[in-house]
Amino acid sequence: MVGWKITGIVLLCIASVTSVPIIDNEQPPQLTVQDTDPESYDFLASTLEGKEVKFNDEDDEVEYRLPNNTIPLKYYLWLSTKVDQEIFEFSGRVRIHIRVLEPTLLVKLHARQLNIESISLVNEEGDILASPLLSNYDLQTEILLIVLPNEFATGDELFLHIEYNGILREDGSGFYRASYIDSDDKRVWFATTQFEMTDARHAMPCYDEPGLRAITSLSIQHYGAYTAISNMPVLSRESVEDDPDYVTTTFMDTPPMQSYLLAFIVSNYKYKSNNFVDVEQRIYAKPQAIDDGECDFALGEVDPMLRKLQEYFQVPYPLPKMDHALIRDYIWGAMENFGLITYQETSMLYVEGRDPVTRKKSIIELIGHEYVHQYFGNIINPKWWSYTWLNEGFATLFQYYISDLIYPESDHMERFQNNAQAAAFRVDVIASDSKPLNYYVETPENIRAKFSTISYQKGGSVLRMFQSAITDETFKKGLYYYLGEMYYTAATPQDLHRNLQTAYDEDFPGNGVDLDEVMTTWEEQAGYPLVNVQRTGSSITMTQTRYGGGNEIYTIPISYTTKSNPNFDDMTPKLWMSENTAAIPDFPTNDWIIVNLGLNGYYRVNYDASLWQSLIEGLKENHQMISAYHRKQAFIDMNPSTNTLADVTLAFELMSYLSAETDLTVWNTVSRVEGVFSKYLFGTMAHEQYNELILSIVQPHLTRLGWVERVGESEDDANLRNVVASYSCSALNQECLDVEHQKLLDFLAGTGSASFRVCEAVRNADGNTHKLLIDTMYVHDDKLNFIQNLGCSLNADILKNYLSIILDPFNGLSVGERAQILLYTYRHSATALQTTLEFIHENFGALDHVLGDSLKDQLLSMTSYINDNIYFDVYKRILSAMQAENFLTSAEVTTRTNAVNSNIEWVNSNWQSVAAYLNIQETTTTTTEATTTTGSPDSITTSTEGAETTTGASPSFIASLILIVACFVSNLLI
Ligand SMILES: [Zn+2]
């Protein structure tokens, strides 16, 4: 599944293919529709082995799991809906074919928000044998307990018939109501489903666990002018005898699959089909989207994706068709239902000239994510939610990897690093969020929490590390073995390890690596390591510690290259570092070393000053000697906020070679270093000099490229101009600001496009102009660009007005858009930060109601911008008030206050070095409390807020500082 959150992401999807290339004779067993005889699926019972130890705060007294002494073989499900008439009650009946694994008098099923009318024991034909059966329902565990008329023995099979009704939900979960506005401005209702993680139980009483597979035979009674689609093709469509406007659509049996993969949609959607040969793929959407061609781009991508996946995995997609349905009222990004992927509508629509071009890449990756799930998730399912990452980690990695195979000239793997790996690094160091990949959960709430950055982005990053370590080809072979052995069964990580090991041993005999042991250190432990690399005489010493603190030891595949023996292509490990330290002897003096080639390892690297100096000198002498990918890596490894081995000003030195750097992949990573200084120097007297440093770096490029596009120039030049101009504007180059201001004036006058940099353009805009831009934002196709930058205003009243639209229930903004307004305001300036803090303080109850958990996330993100005690005091008051009202726990408050404390600590400990490098002159204030401020950032910041004057920090200068941060952030955060 793919889920959109403000600070994290989750997705799901699928497709089919016209031809199946290169599937050799060793392909795994194929399961065709005709094979779906439940008698042949004895392996279903193998999914029921012992449970793991509970990891977290689950209540041991309450059992949410089914006893698994019986298992489902097949559901015969019938549903009826009149959603077309805005009647939201639905009725259902299900006959469940059950096999008994242990003698029992009881059957337990999951059910949610269903009104059970009757339960009977029936025979295979549905004839009643005993009725009604006694039952009991537990609201907390959502378990329906049914008492059988007699004990059944191991191996017995029985059929339960249950009649019930329910309500199509409004929250986008279970069997739910959705709608769209048609071309006559009329709301059209339809019914659809979202069952992952635990909502299949809302459509029928069932065994709603991910390790259990069963076949479903589905019939839906619905309005005749509507169409019903589901996982499988339609078998028949027949009139309803006593209700001529209605029909019953019956589908072919599904393969044995987990309950959460069942899906169906009853709507008047239109569709467009691919040019299929043996597997038809359709995109279903509201009629106007189909008619206007808004789905055409996505439709063009489904065949290449499935074709490439089948080629890569050497396993055919097993179902006879694939439908892709686009739904406006969809709370996730997409869902990989077997044979019927559902998507959030806007994430799949693309119109040339209307939508940002990058949408194309995200559509391809989204389709890829859901298609990968057809293999990892659907063909192989995780034995329990403990291993959610076996679904989501693969889908996350391969959504980029397969996209890259299809479009190697594009930057999908770079997007993997920027979007996935970077997110994992960011989250997996936060005490409250960092977790192992494997841990046990049981309640629906905790199961839902498994769909997090840990399962998705960390899962993908750990897999990427081992893919690179054992080589792409061997990893691919191991996955082929894994798919073959575990085809249509439930897996644990050990099943993956075993098959990768087989491939690794075949391709690298005598490798001496126990992948089960090695991979377990990454799967069972939270966090990731930092490898400190130091020159000690004529050797290199490496030491690992858990990044952010901790005693964990990981077995790290260490790849590296050196100046005297450069090889950037072989990314396999030269050593597996399983202890706390490791050494490289005989290391040439003055050589540089780059560790973690390609940044494929899920670990960070830190060099000492000597090694950084060697590398920086190498870049200054001839940066082309080091591949662009690894020049980029230098900006990722050089983290001035955490490097305790080297002087922080080496980061300035690293940036200084950029005046000769023209590679965009490098420039796109510069913000990793630059952003750290923007953050910590916020509001300090060092920012003006820092600005000058930035301008001196970008000016040579702007002198060469000019400010406006030139006829016939390359795309790279145009893109580089865009990047360096952003830095220039952010550093308050007047020429740059004039250009952007004029563009805004032209836009408002109706004579120019909206291509201006919104942040720079609005910084001093008056209230009326700002309101005009807010009105423009509401209707503009690139709404997000406005949302992300309208908070750049330096006027507190304007900002207050802007923030207030978050709470306006009538302006049509989505929850996500409201959250973005908050997220992209406080970070733009000191004024914005203060205004936002006041706004939250006054409205946290209402904000919590509107934004939900994302308010908590934002309070955490906000800590990056609080570096002094003045804002910290306000911030702490907010946390206290929210804790008092139970919006935050004590642990959540501690996490946030610790984050700010570490900012303040950084500023205090690095100030002298920064001030010396940037030639910050000693300054004298007229305040009585601080007679001198030789680089005491707090006193300077204080002066910016008060009426006292501080030589060297005039009010206009302060305004400039504010703007600098605003613009840096607005232009560089992606
Ligand atoms: Zn997914």
Phi, psi of 281, rounded to the nearest 5 degrees:
-120, 130
CA–centroid distance, residue 341 to ligand 1 (Å): 11
Q: Is the dihedral of CA 708, 709, 713, 717 positive or negative?
A: positive
**Do 327 and 179 touch, CB atoms closer than 8 A?**
no
Residue type, 941: T
Q: Kindly give the residue spans of alpha helices, DSSP state H, lying in 440-582.
A: 444-449, 459-469, 472-485, 493-507, 515-523
Residue 272 CA to residue 252 CA, distance in Å, equals 22
Whose tokens are 């790290």? That residue is 556
- Determine the pLDDT at residue 623: 95
**Average of per-residue pLDDT values in the chain:** 86
Phi, psi of 135, rounded to the nearest 5 degrees:
-150, 165
**Do 450 and 456 touch, CB atoms closer than 8 A?**
no
CA–centroid distance, residue 909 to ligand 1 (Å): 43
Is pLDDT at 810 greater than 80 in this prediction?
yes
CA–centroid distance, residue 9 to ligand 1 (Å): 9
- Determine the pLDDT at residue 642: 76
- Determine the pLDDT at residue 5: 36
Indicate the burial class of 107 (C-beta count within 10 angstroms; 0-12, 13-18, 19 or more).
buried
Domain ranges for the chain = 70-272, 529-669, 689-972
Q: How many CA atoms lie within 13 A of 304 on its CB side?
A: 15
Q: Which residues are annotated as a binding site?
A: 369, 373, 392
Residues 641-656 as b/e (b if ≥16 CB within 10 A, e otherwise) read bebebbbbbbbbbbbe
Task: Give the 3-state secondary structure percentages of the chain, helix then strand then coil, rounded to 5.
Answer: 45, 20, 35
Residue 702 CA to residue 722 CA, distance in Å, equals 10
CA–centroid distance, residue 1 to ligand 1 (Å): 3
- Determine the pLDDT at residue 32: 33
Q: Is 880 in a helix, a strand, or coil?
A: helix
Residue type, 483: L
DSSP classification of residue 214: B
- Determine the pLDDT at residue 921: 62
Residues 386-407 as b/e (b if ≥16 CB within 10 A, e otherwise) read bbbbbbbbbbbbbbbbbbbbbb
Is pLDDT at 411 greater than 60 in this prediction?
yes
Q: Is 902 in a helix, a strand, or coil?
A: helix
Average pLDDT over residues 442-470: 96
- Determine the pLDDT at residue 925: 35
In the annotation, is 157 catalytic?
A: no
Neighbours of 382 (CB within 10 A): 23
CA–centroid distance, residue 451 to ligand 1 (Å): 9
- Determine the pLDDT at residue 113: 97
Residue 650 CA to residue 609 CA, distance in Å, equals 8
Start-to-end C-alpha separation, the chain: 23
- Whether 529-669 shares its CATH topology with 689-972 is answered no
| CA proximity to 126, closest of 156, 95, 93, 162 | 95
CA–centroid distance, residue 250 to ligand 1 (Å): 28
Is pLDDT at 57 greater than 60 in this prediction?
no
What are the residues whose beta carbons fall under 8 Å from the beta carbon of 452, sequence distance 6 or more?
Answer: 8, 10, 427, 433, 435
pLDDT in tens, 252-301: 999 999 999 999 999 999 999 987 767 899 999 999 999 999 999 999 99
Q: How many CA atoms lie within 13 A of 678 on its CB side?
A: 26
CA–centroid distance, residue 374 to ligand 1 (Å): 10
**Do 559 and 572 touch, CB atoms closer than 8 A?**
yes
Strand partners, 334: 2, 343
Looking at 345-359, 401-415, 951-965, which range is the least confident one?
951-965
Q: Among residues 345, 365, 370, 817, which one is catalytic?
A: 370
Looking at 2-16, 423-437, 633-647, 707-721, which range is the least confident one?
2-16
Q: Which residues have beta carbons under 5 A from ligand 1 (an ion)?
A: 1, 11-12, 392, 395
Average pLDDT over residues 743-760: 80
Q: Is 89 in a helix, a strand, or coil?
A: strand
Find the radius of gyration of the CA atoms of the chain: 30
Strand 243-251 to strand 215-223: parallel, antiparallel, or no bridges (unpaired)? Answer: antiparallel
Average pLDDT over residues 400-414: 96
pLDDT in tens, 160-187: 999 999 999 999 999 999 999 999 999 9
In this structure, whether the domain defined by 529-669 belongs to CATH 2.60.40.1910 is answered with: yes
pLDDT in tens, 584-599: 999 998 899 999 999 9
Is pLDDT at 756 greater than 60 in this prediction?
yes
Looking at 188-197, 320-329, 859-868, 875-884, which range is the least confident one?
859-868
Whose tokens are 């970077």? That residue is 422
Q: Which residues are annotated as a binding site for Zn(2+)?
A: 369, 373, 392
The CA-based angle 815-784-859, given to 5 degrees, is 50
- Determine the pLDDT at residue 684: 67
CA–centroid distance, residue 81 to ligand 1 (Å): 29
CA–centroid distance, residue 407 to ligand 1 (Å): 21
CA–centroid distance, residue 426 to ligand 1 (Å): 20
pLDDT confidence band for 60 (50 / 70 / 90): low
**Do 192 and 342 touch, CB atoms closer than 8 A?**
yes
- Determine the pLDDT at residue 58: 56
169-175's contacts with Cβ under 8 Å and 24+ in sequence apart are 169/113, 169/202, 171/331, 172/329, 172/330, 172/331, 172/332, 173/199, 173/202, 173/331, 174/112, 174/113, 174/199, 174/200, 174/201, 174/202, 174/203, 175/79, 175/90, 175/202, 175/203
Residue 523 CA to residue 668 CA, distance in Å, equals 31
Average pLDDT over residues 689-696: 92
Whose tokens are 């990452």? That residue is 389
Percentage of residues in the chain having pLDDT higher than 90: 66
Structure tokens, 614? 């060697």
Structure tokens, 163? 């009649």
What ranges make up the beta strands (E) of 537-647? 539-546, 556-558, 560-562, 575-577, 581-584, 593-595, 604-607
CA–centroid distance, residue 11 to ligand 1 (Å): 4
CA–centroid distance, residue 377 to ligand 1 (Å): 8
Residue 426 CA to residue 602 CA, distance in Å, equals 12
CATH architecture of residue range(s) 689-972: Alpha Horseshoe (1.25)
- Determine the pLDDT at residue 939: 29
Is pLDDT at 114 greater than 50 in this prediction?
yes
Is pLDDT at 412 greater than 50 in this prediction?
yes
Is pLDDT at 522 greater than 60 in this prediction?
yes
Torsion (CA) 191, 192, 194, 198 in degrees, nearest 10 = 50
CATH placement of domain 70-272:
2.60.40.1730
CA–centroid distance, residue 372 to ligand 1 (Å): 8
pLDDT in tens, 893-928: 999 999 899 888 888 888 888 989 998 765 433 333
DSSP classification of residue 268: -
- Determine the pLDDT at residue 708: 82
pLDDT in tens, 472-521: 999 999 999 999 999 999 999 999 999 999 999 999 999 999 999 999 99
pLDDT in tens, 549-575: 899 999 999 999 999 999 999 999 999
Strand partners, 91: 80, 165
Is pLDDT at 47 greater than 50 in this prediction?
no
Is pLDDT at 189 greater than 90 in this prediction?
yes
**Do 470 and 500 touch, CB atoms closer than 8 A?**
yes
Cis, bond preceding 67 (omega within 30 deg of 0):
no
Is pLDDT at 53 greater than 50 in this prediction?
no
Is pLDDT at 971 greater than 60 in this prediction?
no
Average pLDDT over residues 734-762: 80
CA–centroid distance, residue 396 to ligand 1 (Å): 7
Higher-confidence residue of 373 and 785: namely: 373
- Determine the pLDDT at residue 59: 58
CA–centroid distance, residue 691 to ligand 1 (Å): 42
CA–centroid distance, residue 282 to ligand 1 (Å): 20
pLDDT in tens, 916-925: 999 876 543 3
Q: How far is CA 596 from CA 10, 562, 570, 609, in A?
A: 27, 12, 11, 18
**Do 123 and 172 touch, CB atoms closer than 8 A?**
no
